[in-house]
């Protein structure tokens, strides 16, 4: 078991996921009907982590309202709320009083369920101040690729390398193990980026920054396309995320107290939350996630779409490739393709 505190970076604006993030921190967006941050905390807790610090700012109340002091989830949670956006390293500095021993930092919008023990063993062996967890991607050109020596020490980052110029296909996975000495390298009271400022400085000054690849599923859920993809990967079990509900047939998960009208059809893969009402001759799937307390009207269709809790798809409405936020309504007979819609009330087209 891993005994360390974990700092969860959850203070970004999530602009690329608007309007879903209009009133919601991106890490609180549900992934298969449960806030991603909850999946993450549960996963880290299963590996032994009991104490968390959430570095938040934008809509931090939403996070606090959900988790409180963490007791309900069997953990302890402190909140380091920033007075202004401090960036990824500034947020770490802002939580310094809780981080006096070796600690873990996690970008809370990265969808990844890492195995911590091998990462921590690697960190102990190299003896440097920082371990950056890496993931291997096919095309590193949208990211920063790392160059390492044979011991795993990181020599440099190449931001957005041109095709053929990347030193490797390994990129920063958004997960770090840091020694408290790192705090000395982060100036207080200003915005500081760990990727652009702190890590390059630690490398320049020879403090020992090492990288190790973490195997397994990894996805940045920061855009609607990637956010949807995370869902489809979970439904296809390429991403082994725990899914709530009973699997009544291959690829069909159904929650409690669900009512199906006559002639309604589920085409796998599909997840239906609790207390969902499905109308007559409605068609759900393939690829659909329906949140708790949703109503799907008669002859409505939902395919390749995600509905958050308490949403309504009225009779004859058709959704494809769309994301509907909490308490949204798709009016009767309307067609929505590639729509991303949030807020209460009747929906407008995205």
Name the site residues for ligand GTP (rule: CB under 6 A). 9-16, 26-27, 55-57, 82, 85-88, 91, 107-109, 222
* C-beta closer to ligand GTP: residue 198 or 264: 198
Rounded CA-CA distance 231/229 in Å is 5
**Minimum CB separation from ligand GTP for residue 92, in Å?**
9
User: What is the DSSP code (8-state) at residue 30?
Assistant: B
Rounded CA-CA distance 296/315 in Å is 7
* C-beta closer to ligand GTP: residue 27 or 291: 27
CB atoms within 10 A of CB 126: 18
**Minimum CB separation from ligand GTP for residue 10, in Å?**
5
**Minimum CB separation from ligand GTP for residue 161, in Å?**
19
What is the phi-psi region of residue 14: left when phi exceeds 0, alpha when psi lies from -120 to 50, beta otherwise? left
Sign of CA dihedral 66, 12, 214, 6: negative
* C-beta closer to ligand GTP: residue 67 or 253: 67
Q: Is 249 helix (H, G, I), strand (E, B) or coil?
A: strand
**Minimum CB separation from ligand GTP for residue 87, in Å?**
5
Cβ pair 317, 330 in contact under 8 A: yes
**Minimum CB separation from ligand GTP for residue 310, in Å?**
25
**Minimum CB separation from ligand GTP for residue 190, in Å?**
11
Q: Give CA 151 to chain center in angstroms.
A: 30
**Minimum CB separation from ligand GTP for residue 262, in Å?**
44
Phi, psi (5° rounding) for residue 27? -65, -15
* C-beta closer to ligand GTP: residue 111 or 283: 111
* C-beta closer to ligand GTP: residue 108 or 120: 108
**Minimum CB separation from ligand GTP for residue 290, in Å?**
26
* C-beta closer to ligand GTP: residue 59 or 302: 59
* C-beta closer to ligand GTP: residue 109 or 309: 109
Complete DSSP assignment for 59-118 = THHHHHHHHTTSGGGTSEEEEEE-SS--HHHHHHHHTGGG--S-EEEEETTEEE---HHH
Residue nearest to ligand GTP (CB): 12
* C-beta closer to ligand GTP: residue 13 or 243: 13
Phi, psi (5° rounding) for residue 43? -65, -45
Residue (of 142, 168, 147) closest to 157 by Cα position: 147
* C-beta closer to ligand GTP: residue 28 or 235: 28
For residue 306, what is the enclosing H or E element?
strand 305-307
**Minimum CB separation from ligand GTP for residue 160, in Å?**
15
Q: 142: buried, middle or exposed (CB in 10 Å: 19+, 13-18, 0-12)?
A: exposed
* Those residues with Cβ within 8 angstroms of residue 349's Cβ, 6 or more apart along the chain or in another chain: 336, 339, 341
283-284 and 301-303 as β-strands: parallel, antiparallel, unpaired?
parallel
């Amino acid at each position: 078991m891993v005994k360390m505190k974990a700092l969860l970076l959850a203070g970004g604006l999530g602009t690329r996921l608007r309007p879903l993030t209009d009133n919601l921190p991106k890490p609180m967006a549900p992934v298969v009907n449960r806030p991603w941050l909850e999946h993450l905390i549960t996963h880290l807790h299963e590996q032994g982590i009991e104490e968390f610090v959430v570095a938040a700012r934008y809509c931090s109340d939403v996070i606090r309202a959900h988790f409180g002091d963490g007791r309900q989830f069997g953990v302890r949670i402190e909140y380091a709320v920033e007075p202004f956006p401090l960036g990824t390293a500034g947020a770490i500095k802002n939580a310094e009083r809780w981080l006096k021993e070796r600690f873990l930092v996690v970008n809370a919008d990265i969808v990844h369920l890492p195995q911590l023990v091998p990462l921590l063993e690697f960190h102990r062996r190299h003896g440097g101040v920082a371990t950056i967890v890496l993931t291997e991607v096919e095309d590193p050109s949208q990211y920063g690729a790392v160059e390492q020596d044979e011991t795993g020490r990181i020599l440099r980052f190449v931001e957005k390398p041109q095709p053929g110029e990347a030193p490797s296909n390994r990129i920063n996975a958004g997960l770090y193990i840091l020694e408290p000495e790192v705090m000395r390298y982060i100036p207080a009271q200003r915005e500081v980026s760990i990727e652009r400022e702190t890590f390059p400085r630690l490398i320049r000054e020879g403090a020992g920054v090492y990288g190790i690849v973490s195997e397994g599923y990894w996805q940045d859920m920061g855009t609607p396309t990637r956010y949807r993809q995370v869902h489809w990967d979970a439904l296809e079990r390429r991403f082994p995320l725990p899914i709530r509900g009973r699997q009544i047939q291959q690829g069909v998960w159904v929650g409690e107290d669900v009512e199906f009208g006559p002639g309604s059809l589920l085409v796998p893969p599909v997840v239906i939350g609790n207390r969902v009402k499905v109308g007559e001759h409605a068609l759900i799937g393939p690829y659909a996630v329906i949140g708790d307390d949703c109503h799907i009207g008669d002859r409505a269709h939902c395919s390749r779409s995600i509905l958050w809790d308490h949403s309504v798809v009225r009779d004859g409405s058709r959704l494809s490739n769309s994301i509907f936020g909490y308490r949204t309504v798709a009016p009767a007979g309307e067609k929505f393709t590639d729509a991303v819609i949030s807020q209460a009330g009747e929906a407008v087209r995205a």
